[in-house]
Chains A and B, each alone.
Chain A
Amino acid sequence: MIDAPLVQYVKTSDGYDIAYAVCGEGVPVIRVPQLWSHFSLQWSSGILDSEFRQWSERFKMVLFDNRGQGLSTRGLDESTSLADYERDIDAIASKLGLERFILLGISYKGKVAVRYAIEHPERVLALVLWKYIDAFFESPSVKSYGDIARTDWDLFTRMNPRINWPAKDPSVVLSVNRAATTQLDFLRQKTALAESGDSALAKLQVPTLLLAPRGESRPMSGEDQARRAAAIIPNARLVQFDDALGGLSTSDGTTPPAILAVEQFLQGIASGDAPSIDHDSSNLSSRELEVLRLLAAGKSNPEIAKELFITRNTVQNHVGSILTKTNLNNRTEAAVYARDHGLV
């Protein structure tokens, strides 16, 4: 069994000390942590130890705490932006001399990984987004929940374990979360992450795998957002899992399906077998793909217009263009096409 790794430090270009650790052998994976990060305590307290172990049995895992979190420098600058978080990844990759690595982005921080992969496609062998969520605190139902972080930190830190870690002892998660960050740093991180990353998704050029739980109806589960992202990202592959942990839980100690999916994905890349759901043959733009996905979900043009914040005429133009490019005759055929190509 792999033990909790030793913590090391690297300084970012703007002066933050970032705590990181390397464990396991194989293809390097840099894991961009979730909102609450304290990998050392998350490992030793048993909150994420099995997840960390599972990954590091198959890969050379690089765990770290983002600026303002865990064992990294606390006290975020007021102007901290999404781009600043990329510096943390940059510093670690340089220090370890990693030329090519898998970038693993967790839930709401997936957008940090997305931006990094867009700017450094030569370094990112593959982008893996686990439970990708672009709009979290920005979605209407979660906004009020996020506001509680400002008005009632005690309650917010107590709710998080119950909402996001239902299988763990809430008191343990609570103490880890409280050790992971301060209210001020959490709020500054929240502000930085409010910037949407979805608009950037279409620019991704690296092979991308989205891992998401299936069929959860809670607003923060992100199933919807992962599907949406998969439709926008060129050549993305979406794999869904039925378990509550999004493919990372196993009852019998075998390798979790999400990790197996990453291995398969890598094999596909290595064998030159483009991990593609074949968008390219039709040359559909990312916007057209989005329209096609909604159309296939049975939405009318006015509904699609509303959802995408565009006019009905624009939707009509997109639909026309989709039919031309795919050489199809009508919406129904387009819906079938979407299904055949794994879009819905």
Chain B
Amino acid sequence: MEPRIAFTTRKDGVHIAYATLGDGPPVVYPPGAFSRLEAELSHPAFLEFYSAIAQDHMLVFWDRHGVGHSDRNRTDFSCDDDVLDMEAVVDALGLTTFPIFGISDGGPIAITYASRHPQKVTCLVLYGTASNRESEAAARRAIGDLFRSDWWLGTRAMVTKFVPTAPEAAAREMSRILSETSTAEVAAALWEMPYTVGNLLPKLNLPVLVLHRRNDKVVPFESGREMASQIRNARFTPLAGENHPPAIGDWNSVFEPTMAFLKEVESGEVSRPDQSGAKPPEIDDHLSSRELEVLRLLAAGKSNPEIAKELFITRNTVQNHVGSILTKTNLNNRTEAAFYARDHGLA
């Protein structure tokens, strides 16, 4: 599967390079950090993850203003400037309605775009992102200073932070690719962007799935949890792991709930909160969102103690949930529950 790269022009004249991968209903995927088209689409691990999504969707990427193949002359480092990129790409492709998969820096872009164009956005999947960076500001500034004083060391710091346990050779390669896709000054400015979209969260009125790896070193888990708590009826799924890019590490743990959620939304099983009353987004009317989470883990082959650990609840509580799941679904045992989950797109 080869990405198709093209250019579009923003209303202020800035040229943006964008690409699509695969065919089918669109999934718009705003940039998470520095460069998509060079750094990510040329990297086997990233491409594998994207190709999986692109099996039955058209994944839409672009290089944000200032990096990669887009115009490099960026001076406005605001989220509004990033949203202009997205508006131009959506127009160029003539997209009418679509889900947004916002990771890292792409989260605030997704949230802002969805607030401005509610009629276009069917749902949000937010991974490894937050609505502000207050808790990270000091650490980010120190790394930004390193970008400016020694870009090579800076890219090493960035890769170490994004993928803490990468083998050295892979880390060096990622560092090299990054160093070519932007200048130190632009990278530092992007890295230090403040992002304050917290005020938009309570107004969001669409299905939202929030995913966050527990030991993410770039955006703290707590920031993701806090963001999810402010979005009405958002579904929150904590994941294991510490790598920030979803494609690195156990990408299935991001891929599966994301695709399941998109399918639910496409099939109308999950709808806008205000059209379904106060009801949480559910696959099946009578299972609670917590029971669904337990069911998903159970179907992934986890034991009760493992589920308890992952969800920070006691084994007894897990046992109660499992009992309740079996009663509500009228099933006899865990195995049947696992098949039920698979049939309902949960696993």
Contact = CB atoms under 8 A, between A and B. Distances in A.
A158 to B, nearest CB: 5
A152 B139 contact: yes
Given A141-B150, A145-B146, A147-B146, 17 more contacts: A144-B142, A144-B146, A148-B139, A151-B138, A151-B141, A152-B142, A155-B143, A158-B160, A158-B161, A159-B156, A162-B160, A162-B168, A162-B171, A163-B153, A170-B165, A171-B165, A219-B150
B259 interface: no
Q: Is the interface of B mostly helix, strand, loop or mixed?
A: helix
Interface of B: 138-139, 141-143, 145-146, 148-150, 152-153, 156-157, 160-161, 164-165, 168, 171, 217
B156 A140 contact: no
Nearest to A218: B152
A147 B153 contact: no
B149 A140 contact: yes
Contacts of B171: 162
Contacts of B157: 145, 148, 155, 159
Interface of A: 140-145, 147-148, 150-152, 154-155, 158-159, 162-163, 166, 170-171, 218-219
Contacts of A145: 146, 150, 153, 157
Most chain B beta-carbon contacts within 10 A, residue among A145, A163, A166, A218: A145
B329 to A, nearest CB: 43
Contacts of B161: 152, 155, 158
Contacts of A147: 142, 145-146
B164 A148 contact: no
Contacts of B143: 148, 152, 155
Given A162-B156, A162-B168, A163-B156, A155 B149 contact: no
Contacts of A155: 139, 143, 157, 160-161, 217
23 contacts: A140-B149, A142-B150, A144-B150, A144-B153, A145-B146, A145-B150, A145-B153, A147-B142, A148-B142, A151-B139, A151-B142, A152-B139, A152-B143, A152-B161, A154-B217, A155-B160, A155-B217, A158-B160, A159-B156, A159-B160, A162-B168, A163-B153, A170-B168
A217 B139 CA distance: 27
B286 to A, nearest CB: 43
Nearest to A150: B142
Nearest to B167: A170
Nearest to A158: B160
Closest 3 CB pairs of A and B: A151-B142, A144-B146, A144-B145
A141 B153 contact: yes
Contacts of B141: 151
B149 A141 contact: yes
Contacts of B148: 144
Contacts of A159: 156-157, 160
A147 B149 CA distance: 12
A25 B160 CA distance: 42
A75 B148 CA distance: 34
A147 B144 CA distance: 11
B271 to A, nearest CB: 41
Contacts of A158: 160-161, 164
Contacts of A152: 139, 142-143, 161
A166 B142 contact: no
A68 to B, nearest CB: 23
A140 B150 CA distance: 9
Contact of B149 (A144, A170, A218): A144
Nearest to A165: B168
Contacts of B149: 140-141, 143-144
B158 to A, nearest CB: 10
Nearest to A159: B160
